[in-house]
Every structure is written in structure tokens, then in C-alpha cells.
Structure 1
């Protein structure tokens, strides 16, 4: 049921594009003259995963929404001080505006769309909704983050910085406000994190600490979730929501131009959220989220499968970086069922080596593979002066790993996909000798005494190899034997 609370009543044109597990609707409505605000409110009597994008008469994206914990109504206003976060303020012109709505379903639950009401109203009075820091260009009604300075340096030191590449807030289905995310990140001693709410790109963020917040978005479809990190626009500027539910449409989203950014596959083997897009080109993948939310029970096995898949990719010659993401949706005091550990931003922490802390340098470090991931202290891993992600020109030498912790841990040395040595303690060494200068790689896994995941390094590489695999479906084929065990 759709209603517009502006007289005369405006008919909305509804076009259906429905499958067993997906409901897409495109609804148009006419905006009259002399409108200074549009308010959208969705009311549902059933829990549902609902996303919408609102486009103006010029087909420019002006508003985005996930029905989770985001405040409503969502208001677009000519005055930036009266505009909701995650929208674009500016002129509201007469003409046909379009609301694209996507509702994901499952085979066990049948939605009654008559119990879902969308109210659209014009010229309603609003409270002050503005943010002190904005990333979009207030002079332009396009969903581009022209005011986010990716080159702004937060710390000039050349060092390892701790971050989190996967976080959520109340603007999708997270429980923490943006301010609470900042407090939690500071408590976890993070230097940076990426804001990656489902399908919506932050246009602003509160900036009250020295923590770098990088804009991102988790594109969330039935066949898998991925992160676009340090992007300069929404992935739905040019793609409609329904495009992310097909192989062709998702590949268009992946290959779009977002500036100097990262495409990362999230929790690729996690239950119903695994990455099942078989046509994803491997050459477009910058990173894979190897460890996702380690306090969530199902991720224990999913992490091990991700490590195995990563081995296949590295053995084939791909230089795809392994990263981590807390994927935290909870308050710091809350735990998942069957867990006695709190779900925290920065668990795991992803450490990147940067020549000064900026979004650009974080992206550069990830693309190079200068990354380690840990649930605790940083994993220090090197061969002579070579660190993770660097090509080493030695054929023999000593690899060293250290974790400055008193926890009971052990090391697994992984060479060309095989575990060649295990050693208890907080430090370990491995003597390598290659017979020629052909392609090889070495990295280290770190585990708690009981075998649970603690962390890993990205590999140090030797030589080059031209990859032969081309699509993600080939990795899934290689993984079938392991995943059926």
C-alpha cells in the first residue's frame, strides 16, 4: 500500500519484478512546484529486509535507506541543515521521481505486502538533522563524495596502523550510532575503520577524534555480500537495486569506477551469506575477508575454508590480499548466542603498513598486501627487510614471526599452500631454501593453544606466476571436496 500525503492525491505507478526470494518494485510519483522537502516513511507489520533508493526527476540518487534501525522519516530538504544523514540536500524540482524498493525473502516466510505502507509527504517541518562533517558536495545533487579528502593525513609516521574493514551502524541493521562506533573504536585502540552499512553509503560522519573513518558500502544481495572501500560514490548511482541480484548486474557494480578504492568479498563461506556469484572475475578482487566476526560461532569453520580458498588463489599466482572485518552489529556489552565473548569493533584487527595514515595510503597498503590480521597483538612477520606483500629476491634465508603476547599460541608456517612447520610460543623461525627463482610464497598462521584462529600474515612472495583461473566459480569447484567433509 502506497500513499502520498500531499493533496491532490498522487497515483504511484508500481511495476513488479518478483521471484520466489526477491521482490523488486519501481514506484514513480509526481513532485509539484514549490516543494522544499520530501519525507519518506515506511511502516511494516512484519520484519523484513527492505532497501530503497530515491531518484529525482533527472534520475540522480538523492536518498538511500535500509529498514533496520535507521531513523525515520528520511527527509530530503533544500536546506542542508534540515536534511537527513545519508541523503543529498539541494534543489527539489518538479517532475517524476522514482523510488526503487527491494525486499529479500526466503522460502520459509511469505510476506504480505499489504501490511507494508510507504508514506511520502512534502513540505513537512523538520528538526535540525544536519551533521557537523559532510562528505558530499552541498552544491551538487549527485551522490558523489567530493568533499571526502582521501589524501588527508591523520598521522605522518611510517608504521603499522590498526583498523577494521567491516562495520555497521543504526543506518542499516547495526545497534550503534556513529558516535558510539567512534567511542568503541577508540576503546579498541583503532587508528581507522571503514563504515560499511548494507547498501547505503555514508555521506557524512562525526569527526571528534583522531580516528580515520573511511567511507564504504556493503553491497548485500541474496548471492553474497561484498565491500566497496574508500569509494567516491554510491554503487547505485548508475545501477538500480535489482541489478545486484544477477551475475551481470553485480559484475557491472564491481567494475564501475569508484576512484582509488578496494573491492573485497565478505565472509565468502559463511552459511547463507557465502559468495555464490560464480561469474565474478578474479582479476577484479583486491581483497578477501578471511576472518569475519570471530565471536559468531559459524565463522570458525568459514574462516578455515577462506584460508584454504586463499591458498588456491595464491598458488595460482593471484596477489589478492587477506583482510579481516569485525562485521560488528552489536553494542560492546552484547554477545552472540553460544558465545561468551563480546562482539567488538576491531576484532579482528587488520594491521596495515602505511607511509602516513590516510585513506589513500590504506588503500595502497591493502593493494600491495602489506597487511596482517590478528585477534590480539600485531603479528610481526618478515624475511630480512621484506614484509608481507613484498616480493623477495632471496632463494634461501630465515623467516621470522613474533607476537608480543603472553597468551598461549602457536605458529603454522605455510609455504605454497602447505603447512611445513608448527611451533609453540610467541616467536618462531623458518629456514627456507628454494632450488630456483620460480614462483613461491611464505606466510604464517597463528592459533590459540586449542587450535582456534588467532591471526595470519599476508605472504612474502618469490618470483611471478601468470594465473590460469579466471572466475570465482572455479574456486568454488576446488573447494567442494573440503566443504562436503
Structure 2
């Protein structure tokens, strides 16, 4: 049933498909400078299908979003849980719900808060784990969280990709091999952390979902059926084929020992470098033409590779897009 005064959890959308969303934004209800109306307009202009409102330690804005939801635009309720030893995102929580934040790494209290979010059907995401300011670095175990924000765009206006993001991506990448082996890997996400005009959607996460509704989007994000884009001008698809079977981002492919072909199609990144990554690090690189449109192909086997993911970077090294892995078995 709808909750009067709060945005609906379902929009008509386009049915099953890829949806672009920014799950870390702030309005005038915490430390942002934009109203919900301005954020919604900015999100639509940036080509987004949904956003998550994540004010710091507050549910104050949740009732302000209902007028801005639409058949083709969803607002997901959330919170940035700003603790004394790192921040995390509670995405998809209940209307009016506030998650406890008053603790530090040695207090052994974060687990209770994570449990509350999971009980509401929500997603728990490590936020900007290496942010260079007091309490910005994430000092807790990642064990019970669902995803990691490896790309945070807070400084996007002058540094679309910075050293903090590079470190977060490298640490996430190093942990993938063990995570894939144990069947417990945590997907990567990218969000703008919008506070000012012009930031929203830089970057954002593109998720494969059964529809434009909160449960479906969270299911796609939780499963890692997603990739990160610097803007809606970037298009990407990744398919892995073996033994007549095909798998996409976040999926498993049973190869039956057959040769594996990995094919990535990219648009919108002129003269980009497309790199393929496995448990051995970067294993292959292809350069795109000046047009920014092209296909990159790599061949391997499941015996040599337990997963594959790709990164797309501009000629000067800044990230344009990156994917979660396809797992090979």
C-alpha cells in the first residue's frame, strides 16, 4: 500500500531493462544547497531514472519527495549514516525510518543498524571509504554490508576521478578474487554525493532490474547486475560467451571447459582505453577510436580466469565507466 506523503516505491518505467540512478544525494534538508524540486530537475536533465535521497542521519526530507516522483522517475528513500568512524548508505529504508549513527569502530554497534536496514529490505553500502576528512574513511569491517561505493563524485566539478576513488577501486578489485571464490563478493557502486548544482549523476550506477521499483532496483544492485558511468552520455554492454551460453554483468557463466569470448561495446568515450581485469589484475587493453564508439574483445578460459570485469578510461587516465564482474565457472 502507498504511504501518504511519501514517494511511491513503484513507477511505471519501461519494464525489465537497464535503469540509471544516483543513490547518494543531499538536499537543503541536510547539508546540500538544492531543494528536492531542483534535485529532481537536475536528475532528469542528467538522464537518470531514479535517485535515492540520503540526508545525513535524518528522515526530515522524506515527506518532501512525493510531488516529484512520476511514472518515469522513482525516488528511493535512504539515509547517509554518518558515524564517528566512517559513513555508509542505507538505501531503500521505510518511510520515516532513521538509522542509528552515534557510534564508532570500537563500539560493536554498527551490526544492529545494518540489521535494521536489512529487516526493512534495504541495501547497506560503504560510502567513500577513503574520503580525506575527519570520519570520512570507513573503519569498519565490510562483512555485513552489501556493496561498496568505489566512485564518489563529491569533487566532480573539478576532479571527476581522484586518488580516493583510485584507492577504493584498487582495494575492491583486490578483494574480488577471494570474494568470488567464496561466493560472497560485494558489488561496486558509483554515486555523485551531490551537494551543489551540476553534480548530480556524476557518476551514477546503471542497474539491470525487472522494473522501475525499489525492490527490483535493490535486487539488481545487491546482485551486482550493474555498472558505473560518468554520465548518461556513456553507453556500455558486456557479454561473455562460452559453449553456446551467454552471461552479462553480475551473472555466472557455466563454461563447461569451453573457450570463453568476452565482448564489450562502448559509446561516448573518445579515444578511450578499455582494459579487462581478472584475479591477475589487468590482462588486456584495447584503444577505442576518436569517435568514442567501438568493440573490445578478449578470449580466455575458466581455467585461467574466475571472473572478468572492464574499465573504460579517458586518454588522461580518468575513469569513464567500470563494470562489476561476470563470474566464470
What band does the TM-score fall into relative to the shorter chain? 0.7 to 0.9
**TM value normalised by structure 1:** 0.59
Distance in 2 (CA, whole Å) between partners of 1:153 and 1:235 is: 21
Decide whether the 8 Å contact of 2:80 with 2:87 is kept in 1. Answer: yes
Residues 238-263 of structure 1 show CA distances to partners (whole Å, capped at 9, x for unaligned) of x4x53367542223212224421100
Give yes or no for the alignment of 1:356 onto 2:199: no
Spell out structure 1 runs of 4+ moving beyond 6 A: none
Distance in 2 (CA, whole Å) between partners of 1:407 and 1:298 is: 16
Give yes or no for the alignment of 1:461 onto 2:319: no
User: What count of residue pairs does the alignment treat as equivalent?
Assistant: 302
Give yes or no for the alignment of 1:309 onto 2:171: yes
**Per-residue deviation at 1:406?**
5.5
The equivalent residue for 1:262 is 123
Residues 12-53 of structure 1 show CA distances to partners (whole Å, capped at 9, x for unaligned) of xxxxxxxxxxxxxxxxxxxxxxxxxxxxxxxxxxxxxxxxxx
Note the aligned Cα RMSD (angstroms): 2.3
Unaligned runs of 5+ in 1: 1-131, 136-147, 333-343, 464-485
Give yes or no for the alignment of 1:419 onto 2:282: yes
The equivalent residue for 2:291 is none
Secondary structure class of the residue paired with 1:186? helix
Distance in 1 (CA, whole Å) between partners of 2:315 and 2:223 is: 31
Give yes or no for the alignment of 1:446 onto 2:303: no
Residues 205-258 of structure 1 show CA distances to partners (whole Å, capped at 9, x for unaligned) of 132543100000001123111100001156646x4x533675422232122244
The equivalent residue for 2:299 is 431
Decide whether the 8 Å contact of 1:312 with 1:417 is kept in 2. Answer: no
Decide whether the 8 Å contact of 1:247 with 1:277 is kept in 2. Answer: no
Give yes or no for the alignment of 1:134 onto 2:5: yes
Unaligned runs of 5+ in 2: 289-293
Distance in 1 (CA, whole Å) between partners of 2:11 and 2:160 is: 38
**Per-residue deviation at 1:433?**
1.6
**Per-residue deviation at 1:281?**
4.8
Give yes or no for the alignment of 1:193 onto 2:51: yes
Distance in 2 (CA, whole Å) between partners of 1:326 and 1:281 is: 21
Decide whether the 8 Å contact of 2:87 with 2:138 is kept in 1. Answer: no
Distance in 2 (CA, whole Å) between partners of 1:220 and 1:265 is: 11
**TM value normalised by structure 2:** 0.85
Decide whether the 8 Å contact of 1:133 with 1:207 is kept in 2. Answer: no
Distance in 2 (CA, whole Å) between partners of 1:281 and 1:383 is: 29
Quickly say closer, same or farther: Cα 1:247–1:197, change in 2 above 3 A.
same
Distance in 1 (CA, whole Å) between partners of 2:284 and 2:23 is: 30
Residues 72-96 of structure 1 show CA distances to partners (whole Å, capped at 9, x for unaligned) of xxxxxxxxxxxxxxxxxxxxxxxxx
**Per-residue deviation at 1:165?**
1.2
The equivalent residue for 1:182 is 40
> Over alpha carbons, which structure has the higher Rg?
1
The equivalent residue for 1:253 is 113
Residues 122-170 of structure 1 show CA distances to partners (whole Å, capped at 9, x for unaligned) of xxxxxxxxxx9612xxxxxxxxxxxx643x2431422111111111100
Superposition map of 1:86-97 within 5 A? none
